[in-house]
Structure 1
């Protein structure tokens, strides 16, 4: 550095005003990119620089354009958002001067028919599908965006995908099973009342809807106003059950003297395949025993809701020789259930089954509510769970 009498030579400083803020640079010639960088901007492609000369309007400065800051005619600089946005569709570059585009517009601009395809935004973590929202505005990002197109399926069978737990692709129609009927639906989402309408149009009776997932051993009750996503992974089917059953002693409950208890796991009779699969998936020990008299399914360590004297109990279900055409009625618990509130459980009775004293709950469907081909042990246990929860508040 050259020395003068009074010390080192100080470098020349040039002042530029960018968006009303002064910045200092140490050379006269600077590109638009250098001015933006000096002003603290990142992602330079996201900003457009303009300079104001005395007596003139603002004029655009490109990123590689050199500006002489020693020019006394320069008044100030300002910035605006980008003039164009770059993005890729199916690995091919596209650009737009609009700050927002819909998925529909992006597909059309690419020459892709939105009636046959939908748009997916590719992100670093996960993707976003616009199959159900083709008109939703997408805010364009100046640093670039990646999209791919997907082809609509004409029809997707929810039960088929659910049994295999495969991701459900977007479709023009979804085939869903409600009770024993199959129906098609043109949207990804469906409400609980709409599910009920499939099998029970103009229904006025109180009912509840359950969904079956391949990953859940027990059906899951849906809220009355719930919006159901048909593309939920492992969703298999739906069933509709009466909301309330009548209390009262049944004329056909069986009394028997105690017999010797055995610890052997017994399978004295064969159940339908769907019942065996359900019971096995519960993860609980279960038996099918006969000659008690009658045929019984015994489920050990069945969970009991909070509010009773036990957290789990053995549950017995009487199986008719005509099952599944004939209904399952009531339920039996060992040990007997007692509410911690001290309130009485109405309409219960003692029943000896397999040498143990069970507490029978006299709760019954109304005539005609059992539906062969739809109802089974799984759907009956949905009702049993409801009885248990409801009785706590009585």
Structure 2
């Protein structure tokens, strides 16, 4: 009996490729270059898709740039597909035109009429220890700070360069101070050198020029050739006579005067500029400030102690050694024709002023606490 074919055919097995991942995540920023992650449902997004994901409305004009991994910016048209292998960062703006800038000689088209210097630093990958300068023709280049916003010429090109910031030195009565800006006020120079600006006759010595007396309101251009030093001469020099008695133009509470004398503070009371002032000279301040002491002033109301003493005032103004600004100290108050820095510090609702309990003594505790708080002691 012959073998019979079953009629069945052996079929090759099918091979199923795993599905391709059609999603990816890109980073998008506006003109501030603060990037955020955005997921996409495609690996070939168009410029229009990226603008839509970022949040541009249909009535806006999208301008999309791809920030390539090599640092270049490349325009991406609305219908053009992005090559994500070149970079996953994109910048999106609502703009119908650009202005031209260069950073370290490399050209960029920027879709706005202004640009923040912080953005220039990011685009140019400029380290934080280098200064940024805007090139100028026929005048010195302009030093700009990260929080500056620069107007971009519509009919020209703005050129940005970086370099190590220049440092200028000034000798103040034998103590050298440095400045990263070429102009420094006499007041700041003396304060940074640890001198009370009110107590001295200030003389500037410049090579080849006569000595020149300065006031605390003058500024010194450290770029001027021949600047040597500042020399100080005491305003009040006597022949061994007894020092003048401190002013006592109004009386404090007995507890106040006893306390001030017991701790050895140099104080006086003065009527000035329509107010009554307690002035304490050489008031010590905690470590963490650029100065070691200051002149402290308290405004004492006519009906004190029924009316509270509020805030306090200092001269020279106090600055942290770190250079970080101190909040609520921007205002000033004239006392005897001199500007004092106002520290806007107030009592809270938990322990309001109590005329039976509070006085200059307790307010000085508030002053000390406020000073310590700002330097983290």
Does TM, normalized by the shorter one, top 0.5? Answer: no
Q: Using structure 2 for the length normalisation, give the TM-score.
A: 0.34
Q: Which has the higher contact order (CA 8 A, sep 6+)?
A: 1
Q: Using structure 1 for the length normalisation, give the TM-score.
A: 0.33
Larger radius of gyration: 1
